[in-house]
Structure 1
Amino acid sequence: MKRSNFLILITVFFTTVLYSQSIDNVDFVSSMNDEMAAVKKGNQWGFINSEGNMAINFRDDLVVSKTADGSYPIFHNGRCLIAQKKDGINYYGYIDRTGKTVIEPQYLNATNFNDNVAIVLVLRRNELSKNIALNKAVVNYDYFEVAINLNGEVITYLTQEPVHITLSAEKLRKPPVIYSKVISNTLFAVMNAQKKWSVLKVE
């Protein structure tokens, strides 16, 4: 067999294997959002693209969001939420349309992107002192509500006062609530302790 014919056969074989994945017998198919539709098989989710090809294979770290036509993972602005469990606590990050992690799971909670911004809970570790006998730092933790861009860069802090938290799986069975909302990529609504809203403009 000629080398050129062999290379053509290998190319066809790998193209078939990699891109002609079966999408039969799935449990749920969402509507198209951001040129991607979520599909569920068992306890795992994946995504098909606008051509009906499997763009992201089934996996168990995609975060389900509530929508008008059901609950499923969703893409907005080319980003989809993922969650990774560390020491029993879920940390949230984002993947792109290829399934690549573009913002590492590091937030205590996070929203879907909207108008190229998202709101996340940024965890802060505070070293208070050192236990000389045990040679260990005495620490506590708190978090802020923060707006980030598509690269995970901080646009602005939406809360000025930190919220103290006990970082344990027992205390954090559910992620802390996010109270701020995205109005546009320069406008945010922030709720205060009296449950009143303020509008914050970011230049």
Structure 2
Amino acid sequence: MKNFKWIICIVMLLPFLVLSQTLENLDFVSPFHEDLAAVKKNDQWAFIDRNGDVVIDFRPDLVSTRTDSGSYPLFSNGRCLIESKKDGISYFGYIDVSGNKAIEPQFLNAKNFLNGKAIVLQLIKESAGVNTALGKNVVYYKYFEVIINTDGTLEAYLSKDPQNVVLDKSYLRNPPEISFTHFSESLYVKKDKSNKTTLVKID
């Protein structure tokens, strides 16, 4: 009977017991961005909140950003970059603070959001007809530098002329570079190879 009373007491106290959570053998802990910090273990990253609780579990698709504090994934405007490979080609998208895909990986390269806007390389597929000898459709790929909002909606084109690209891992080992940078709330800037500057104003 006495043992039974102790069991009852323990069961009643369980909801009030504080359990500690420990993250061990971490390779890196980033500063907080939007109340979330990235933690690295082996080749995967996760996010913790300010209480140290894991809110987005370890995963291999988070994209690191170079900062003064190191290179690590981060949230900006409630979005974090992710990368997905298909046939050896990298495609970039974004997750939200719950770890769910907010924008499907579809861009050849992408930057973090700033003031609700992000610069991405939007891929365009064009059909040039049918190769009768091979019995295959002939397609070409090109990309534009564009601005999207946090929903993934295209807001504006930064580049007037598209860049042609071959979607083959032997030609496209690394993502094409984004030439524009965010200069101010409405201005975007790029420098060409001759060090000439182009300013684009987006209202």
Q: How many residues align?
A: 190
Structure 1: runs of 5 or more not aligned: 1-7
1:186 Cα deviation after fit: 2.3
Alpha-carbon distance in 2 for matches of 1:199, 1:81: 26
Q: 1:171 matched to which residue of 2?
A: 171
Q: Report the counterpart of residue 73 of structure 1 in structure 2.
A: 73
Task: Using the TM superposition, give the Cα deviation of residue 35 of structure 1 relative to its aligned residue in structure 2, in angstroms.
Answer: 1.1
**Is 1:47 aligned with 2:47?**
yes
Tell me the CA shift for residue 133 of structure 1: 4.2
> Distance in 2 between the 1:137 and 1:149 partners?
33
1:128 paired residue number: 128
Query: 4+ residue runs of structure 1 moved beyond 4 angstroms?
Result: none
Asked whether the 8 Å contact 1:116–1:185 carries over to 2, the reply is no
Shift of 1:97: 0.6
Give the TM-score taking structure 1 as reference length.
0.86
Q: Distance in 1 between matches of 2:109 and 2:55?
A: 26
Residue of structure 2 equivalent to 1:99 = 99
8 Å contact kept, 1:47–1:55: yes
- Give 5+ residue unaligned stretches, structure 2: 1-10
Superposition RMSD on alpha carbons, in Å?
2.2
The CA deviation at 1:197 is 1.7
**Percentage of identical aligned residues:** 46
Greater Rg over alpha carbons, structure: 2
Q: Deviations over 1:173-196 (max 9, x none)?
A: 111010101123422113346442
Q: Distance in 2 between matches of 1:125 and 1:97?
A: 31
Q: Secondary structure at the match of 2:25?
A: coil
How far the C-alpha of 1:80 sits from its partner, in A, is: 0.5
Q: Where does residue 196 of structure 1 map in the other structure?
A: 196
The question of whether the paired residues in 2 share the 8 Å contact of 1:146 and 1:154 is answered with: yes
181-190 or 110-119, larger mean C-alpha shift:
181-190
Tell me, in whole angstroms, the C-alpha distance in 2 between the residues paired with 1:138 and 1:148.
29
